[in-house]
Structure 1
Amino acid sequence: MDLKCIFSLAILVSQISLSSTQNVNVVIQGATPIAETDDNFVCATLDWWPTEKCNYNQCPWGKAGILNLDLKMKGLINAVKAFNPLRIKIGGSLQDQVVYGVGGVKNCPNFIKNEDSLFGFSQGCLPMERWDQLNNFFNQTGVKVTFGLNALLGRNRSEIEKGLWVGDWQSQNAGDFMKYTISKGYKVDSYEFGNQLSGAGMGASVEAEQYGKDIVVLKNLVKELHPDPKTQPKVLGPSGYYDEKWFNSFLEVSGHDVVDGVTHHIYNLGPGDDPNMIAKIQDPSYLNQVSQTYKGVLNIVNKFKPQSGAWVSESGGALHGGAKDLSPTFADGFWYLDQLGMASTYNQKVFCRQTLIGGNYALLNTTTSIPNPDYYGALLWHRLMGSTVLAVTQESNPNLRVYANCAKKKPGISIIFINLSKDSSFNVTLSNYEHQGRNLRSTDVVKPNFEFRGSKDREEYHLAALAGNIRGQIVLLNDVPMVPTETFDIPAVEPKLVNASTPIHIAAHSIVYVTIRDFQAPACA
């Protein structure tokens, strides 16, 4: 045996000796659901940022902006097709500076760097030729489109309050854009009004009462142009950071039947250059903090009862393009997939990842369109986790995060386990709590009715980092590296079948999806 083999063996032995295995019982309440998501809960964004957009002395956008993305890249096409369908939201910081090259708009310029303008760029324009190309891509790949509209058109900067924009929204350009879209037979699932203009805003803000009045104008425009309620796009807003007072006023003014989805943004990891981010991502108490935002939004939605509930319409984890050495790595999945789970338990209907492509936080590599690790976690959620959310409890270890939904394809349930610990693995047994009289949240302590003992093989999908390097960009699925083929096809995502009589093994620093076909959950019948 040569020295290299001896050294490798020594490392392996040391890792094994440092790792401990803990027995954990997870209780799933299968009787009644605690929440319901949209069928297309997993969503990704396309952003307007041009190549010149830079943060932290780097410019990570390349040619991934809406106006210059190569829509013929095979990797991009195949990655989107794999979802069948994927919800894509078009928007971002510059959307309130975009005019649409239709109707009275004759001059249709691209964004130009201008330090005196909002976010350092001049007003830009979406030519209808480019809109045609985008819709050809959407039709080819099977995309449900959410389009973010410019909510600053017609307004002016306040002369009294810095950052505040005042005046009524001008709907003419948006109306011309919608008419063109209808004339071409393009399908838009929903229109979102503005971007990060709520509360104090990001760069710009609009008062809640004014915003509420203007979204009524948008709703009336949508209803006028789409008289059939069955094909009428939803109206979403305000698409900003949650501010209780502002959101409350906005929804009071807009009324009960106007806003179909209350949209908000989550960037709970902070600035993308934070050196402590890797610790935050693995800290259960830190990850739990954002639940207060979800609770707040849920409460305000329940108060006003908009038809479509709450949406997270943008979340990239780390701000300003993401974290260069973390967002595109396996470790980011501890944050991202935990957010999908947490958001779903708080009845958030949709969760849009910033971005599909572009910036450091993209699901796909900006240059090559090769999937980053989070892409596979998102694809598995979309394929396995149904829209009905179940209550889950486990009292043993906070490093083991567990979420359960009815299986996307009946029968049974699908569960995601996220192990934040680098030292501990878990052997999990399940108990089925069928008491119908209580509705449980994940924090409730329950006495399970019985331990679940299945007879059908479980379907398991174990995600782990190559060589245990959670800061690497190669993910293993059941020990097989997930790498596209030479023709950029997405590799097959297949489960391993495991005897139902054995515990579910969750290795240290791994993420595991499990589908159990014979788990009796009345909520999933």
Structure 2
Amino acid sequence: MPFVKKALSYLYGGAGGYSILILTLKASPFSLFSLSLSKGLGEMGGALPQLLGFCFLAFLWLAGFAAVDAAGAPPAAGGSEGTAAVDGTTPIAVTDDDFVCATLDWWPPEKCDYGTCSWDLASLLNLDLSNKVLLNAVKEFSPLKLRLGGSLQDKVIYGVDPQQPCTPFVKNNSEMFGFTQGCLPMQRWDELNDFFKKARAVIIFGLNALNGRVPLRGGSLGGPWNSTNAESFIRYTVNKGYTIHGWELGNELSGSGVGAKIGADQYAEDVISLKKIIDNIYQDVTDKPLVLAPGGFFDASWFSEFIKKTKPDSLDVITHHIYNLGAGVDKHLVDRILNPSYLDGEVSTFRNLQGILQSEGTSTTAWVGEAGGAYNSGHHLVTDSFVFSFWYLDQLGMSSTYSTKSYCRQSLVGGNYGLLNTKTFQPNPDYYSALLWHRLMGSKVLSTKFTGTKSIRAYAHCARESQGITVLLINLSGNTTSQAFVTTASNYTIGLKHHIPRTRFNHITRLQRTVASTREEYHLTAKDGDLHSQAMLLNGNILSLDSEGNIPTFEPMEVDASLPITVTPYSIVFVHISHFNAPACR
């Protein structure tokens, strides 16, 4: 038979006795059979154990054929096999427990890109905080980390002085980013914090870093940061008892900047000033908020200098932004999202930033502070549809592999890349992808390598608040169904008395091979197979809110763990394998 691998091995355990017999079938899901024969049989003489051994061999051979006929036929045309090798010895990185983060921005309704005005009432200044769907959506994460900021944060003043006017942003094309200076009234800040408390959100606030700057040659801004207004605002926040997890200084002012730029030396001095302000105002608080910066695009030289000048303890988190797909108007966004080589291009950013932090020996950690994929508000029916989950989940997996502690998605609501619909707050597909990640993927990241087809992206973490691991498989191919196997990729023993070579299912212990094991699978697909659909199916059932605006429950499929994982074209699968023996997850 062509599908039978001619590999039979007898491992002798002593005088005439058979310790273990291994039969491997190429196409069978039962890729490993093992059998120990009592050494006592060996002591009975040569003929009987040889006869018994032959009988067992014949039995296993025939059983293998039956297994192939029942469930393990070779992949059909348009199918492929692949293996995700997971090293569960030690974690290669550890993320924050609240790794998933989303942003809220300042853009007024008049913000338009390429003739499309996609922000509506999604600003921190006008968002409907009484909407039950919005509250439920944030509350489901408990907590969801929210980063408050964006391009206009460096044009915001804080209305802490009742004697001073507090006026909103006004459209003016001659101004940076097309708007005048705006103001955050303290009444609105009170309302926002009431919402954050109800939603159990964790807040990162982006401060205006341009106060006091003067223009320099070459387009840079110089002079020290005027922190007076920010300091008054922070003090007001503390006096009101509002909990802020972190204060971030500036938005996209690093490197070549967007709209404006500040040199690394000056920026470092300003961060040190912010650190002193926070230490002073929070001096009686045990858990002081984090200091984050610069919230800009990665520039190796600038970031390296910035890290050096903020050591040893002025900067807790270095934040960078990702819009690697190009402009929202670009017609090739989907092609890039589904191109594994293009997705791999962002690895260098994570790797290089990780290298800088390690070489400098700093305690500063890295976050993605804002990531919308396609800049200028994204693209309707691309960055707010099913196809964007391929990019988004791949980014979560890739960034966590390189010690990114948190990943903030632009945006929770607003633009064409919101996790929620801007007008109705109905979840877009990426909301469900984010929530599934949050519930299934723990903080410990495991080394994972997929062999087979390049169209499958594979990541694995220790399971969140559960035993075993969770594997994420992303199929970028629209034509190929992949039969994926999960195996160990380490040399630790799997709990067997005798050594067994690593195979597709050797994460299942002897007892679990005897008593059939199951795993939990969550298959995500687009409604009607339309990648541009804003409806997502979980295991064939559409995900939608109930009549009360509650987020649906996620019911997994229970699958025989000895079978391969079927990853259909253009689908995403989370797989929780509770019996995977990973020392890193204990």
Structure 1 counterpart of 2:426, one-letter code: I
The alpha carbon displacement at 1:450 in A equals: 6.8
Structure 1 counterpart of 2:528, one-letter code: A
The alpha carbon displacement at 1:165 in A equals: 1.1
Distance 1:382 1:132 in 2: 28
Residue 273 of structure 2: aligned partner: 217
The alpha carbon displacement at 1:316 in A equals: 0.3
The alpha carbon displacement at 1:452 in A equals: 2.6
User: Unaligned stretches of 5+ in structure 1?
Assistant: 1-16, 438-445
3-state SS of paired residue (1:75): helix
Say if 2:507 is the partner of 1:452.
yes
Residue 485 of structure 2: aligned partner: 429
Say if 2:314 is the partner of 1:258.
yes
Say if 2:153 is the partner of 1:95.
yes
Task: Mark the CA change 1:447 to 1:286 in structure 2 (over 3 Å): closer, same or farther.
Answer: farther
Deviates more, 1:242-251 or 1:203-212: 242-251
Matches within 5 A, 1:47-58: 47-58=105-116
Say if 2:210 is the partner of 1:155.
no
User: Unaligned stretches of 5+ in structure 2?
Assistant: 1-74, 494-500
3-state SS of paired residue (1:326): coil
Task: Mark the CA change 1:206 to 1:24 in structure 2 (over 3 Å): closer, same or farther.
Answer: same
Residue 584 of structure 2: aligned partner: 523
Distance 1:252 1:488 in 2: 49
Say if 2:134 is the partner of 1:79.
no
Deviates more, 1:301-310 or 1:261-270: 301-310
Matches within 5 A, 1:462-501: 462-501=523-562
Distance 2:550 2:181 in 1: 38
The alpha carbon displacement at 1:335 in A equals: 0.5
Residue 47 of structure 2: aligned partner: none
TM-score, length basis structure 1: 0.92
3-state SS of paired residue (1:63): coil
Residue 174 of structure 2: aligned partner: 116
> Per-residue CA shift, 1:237-280, capped at 9, x if unaligned?
11100111111111222222111011000111010011111111
Distance 1:502 1:70 in 2: 48
Distance 2:349 2:167 in 1: 38
Residue 502 of structure 1: aligned partner: 563
3-state SS of paired residue (2:253): coil
Say if 2:343 is the partner of 1:287.
yes
Say if 2:381 is the partner of 1:325.
yes
Distance 2:163 2:361 in 1: 38
Deviates more, 1:400-409 or 1:455-464: 455-464
The alpha carbon displacement at 1:104 in A equals: 7.6
Distance 2:200 2:361 in 1: 30
Say if 2:474 is the partner of 1:418.
yes
Distance 1:170 1:18 in 2: 67
3-state SS of paired residue (2:307): helix
The alpha carbon displacement at 1:117 in A equals: 1.4
Residue 10 of structure 1: aligned partner: none
3-state SS of paired residue (1:349): strand
Tell me if the contact between 2:507 and 2:579 (Cα under 8 Å) persists in the aligned partners.
no
Residue 88 of structure 2: aligned partner: 30
Identity over aligned pairs, percent = 46
Structure 2 counterpart of 1:463, one-letter code: L
Residue 424 of structure 2: aligned partner: 368
Say if 2:188 is the partner of 1:130.
yes
Task: Mark the CA change 1:237 to 1:105 in structure 2 (over 3 Å): closer, same or farther.
Answer: farther
3-state SS of paired residue (2:453): coil
The alpha carbon displacement at 1:372 in A equals: 0.3
The alpha carbon displacement at 1:52 in A equals: 0.3
> Per-residue CA shift, 1:422-477, capped at 9, x if unaligned?
0011111111123379xxxxxxxx97797333543211111000111111111000
Say if 2:439 is the partner of 1:383.
yes
Distance 2:527 2:537 in 1: 6
> Per-residue CA shift, 1:194-213, capped at 9, x if unaligned?
00000110000011100000
Choose which of 262, 286, 300 in structure 2 pairs with 1:206: 262
Distance 2:221 2:300 in 1: 20
Structure 1 counterpart of 2:255, one-letter code: G
> Per-residue CA shift, 1:73-94, capped at 9, x if unaligned?
1111111111111000000000
Distance 1:304 1:297 in 2: 11
Residue 442 of structure 1: aligned partner: none
Residue 45 of structure 1: aligned partner: 103
Distance 1:23 1:155 in 2: 59
Task: Mark the CA change 1:317 to 1:241 in structure 2 (over 3 Å): closer, same or farther.
Answer: same
Residue 514 of structure 1: aligned partner: 575
3-state SS of paired residue (2:102): strand
Deviates more, 1:86-95 or 1:100-109: 100-109
Distance 1:308 1:379 in 2: 27
Tell me if the contact between 2:101 and 2:145 (Cα under 8 Å) persists in the aligned partners.
yes
Task: Mark the CA change 1:187 to 1:305 in structure 2 (over 3 Å): closer, same or farther.
Answer: farther
3-state SS of paired residue (1:302): helix
Distance 1:255 1:448 in 2: 47
Distance 2:542 2:349 in 1: 36
Paired residue total: 499
Residue 334 of structure 2: aligned partner: 278
Say if 2:291 is the partner of 1:235.
yes
Distance 1:105 1:347 in 2: 46
Distance 1:358 1:268 in 2: 19
The alpha carbon displacement at 1:307 in A equals: 3.1
Residue 393 of structure 1: aligned partner: 449
Tell me if the contact between 1:147 and 1:192 (Cα under 8 Å) persists in the aligned partners.
yes
> Per-residue CA shift, 1:35-69, capped at 9, x if unaligned?
11111110000000000000011000000011011
Choose which of 203, 228, 232 in structure 2 pairs with 1:172: 228
Tell me if the contact between 2:311 and 2:362 (Cα under 8 Å) persists in the aligned partners.
no
Tell me if the contact between 2:298 and 2:320 (Cα under 8 Å) persists in the aligned partners.
yes
3-state SS of paired residue (1:428): strand
Task: Mark the CA change 1:232 to 1:506 in structure 2 (over 3 Å): closer, same or farther.
Answer: same
Task: Mark the CA change 1:228 to 1:494 in structure 2 (over 3 Å): closer, same or farther.
Answer: farther
Structure 1 counterpart of 2:153, one-letter code: Q
3-state SS of paired residue (2:363): coil
If you compute each CA radius of gyration, which structure gives the higher value, 1 or 2?
Answer: 2
Distance 2:517 2:289 in 1: 42
Distance 2:190 2:503 in 1: 55
Structure 2 counterpart of 1:258, one-letter code: S
The alpha carbon displacement at 1:395 in A equals: 1.8
Tell me if the contact between 1:24 and 1:426 (Cα under 8 Å) persists in the aligned partners.
yes
Tell me if the contact between 1:261 and 1:306 (Cα under 8 Å) persists in the aligned partners.
no
> Per-residue CA shift, 1:288-318, capped at 9, x if unaligned?
0010111111111213344351000000000
TM-score, length basis structure 2: 0.83
Structure 2 counterpart of 1:375, one-letter code: Y
3-state SS of paired residue (1:126): strand
